[in-house]
Amino acid sequence: MNIQLRFINRSNDRGNSEVVLFQRNVVPDFDELAIAWKVIRFCGRDCIHPFVYSTSIEIALGDEHGNYSPRATAQDGERFTVGVHPTGRARLVTEPAPAGGIGAGAGIEVVNRMTRGAVNVNAFSAGKLIAAKWAVAPAQKAVFRFTPVLWIGAASQVQEGRALSSAVLSSDNTMLPLAGIAAADIVMTGGGGGADAQPFGFALENVVHV
């Protein structure tokens, strides 16, 4: 499902701050990378930046050379395996679910069944990288489970599609629950300089429900 969103800058900032949106995998894994899914730059006061967030997830393998396998649409409770293509490269294959499935809410599993060679497993939303787990070794797996929630905050020196630093992740980011929403505005307030400076705030407005 695609959710139509509009970022609106109603803060006292004149577009000098960078705004980052990202998602958190609800399956804890210390080796997994939290990714800057969307970065908004130079959006001046009262200006609008429209974009789309998709609850549909695509999975692809990647390597250290910047190559990616074809993306596969993945559903919660679906399992994929990593095997060897006749060319010798890793490939992603949908595995039939076991009797009774792996269970709703279990997430998306990608199991490396190759005898040797680690792979990077990447998750995409609306065509943009939203999560990744690097160097998944044989017999190991990556598990992604997302809820329809985005996190947003003001940051600096962040790049879209790159891992977020621990400093950004530990900042006072705002959770935006998107369940049951078809469209909404994300309004940024606060900012400014000197004695009148206020923390940035983010809130959903003009929400259209499904």
Residues 131 and 170 in one domain: no
Phi/psi-derived region of residue 161, left when phi > 0, alpha when psi is between -120 and 50, beta in every other case: left
Indicate if the alpha-carbon torsion angle 145, 150, 153, 155 is positive or negative: positive
The vertex-107 CA angle with 103 and 109, nearest 5°, equals: 100
In this predicted structure, what is the pLDDT of residue 99?
Answer: 55
Q: What is the pLDDT of residues 17-46, one digit of tens each?
A: 899 999 988 876 656 678 999 999 999 999
d(CA 25, CA 132): 10
Boundary-marking domain end, from 144, 169, 199 = 144
Question: Looking at the structure, do residues 117 and 155 belong to the same domain, yes or no?
Answer: no
pTM for the full predicted model: 0.90
Residue ending a domain, choose from 96, 126, 144 = 144
Same domain, 68 and 121: yes
The answer to whether residues 160 and 136 belong to one domain is no
Predicted pLDDT at 27: 77
How confident is residue 162, by pLDDT bands cut at 50, 70 and 90?
Answer: very high
Query: Is residue 12 one of the residues assigned to a domain?
Result: yes
Q: Report the number of distinct structural domains present in the chain.
A: 2
Residue 92 token pair: 């992603």
Look at residue 197 in the predicted model and tell me its pLDDT. Answer: 82
pLDDT of residue 129: 95
Task: State the pLDDT at residue 43.
Answer: 93
Number of other CB atoms surrounding residue 31 within 10 Å? 10
Given 144, 159, 176, the domain boundary residue is 144
Residue 21's domain comprises 2-29+48-55+147-209
pLDDT in tens, 93-144: 888 766 555 555 778 999 999 988 899 999 999 999 999 999 999 999 999 9
Same structural domain, 72 and 87: yes
92 and 131, same structural domain? Answer: yes
Average pLDDT on 67-89 reads 87
> CB 67: neighbour CB atoms within 10 A?
12
Q: What is the pLDDT of residue 149?
A: 95
Whether residue 40 lies inside any domain: the answer is no
Sheet order of strands, 181-191 included: 48-54, 2-9, 181-191, 198-209
Average pLDDT, rounded, for the chain: 89
Same domain, 61 and 137: yes
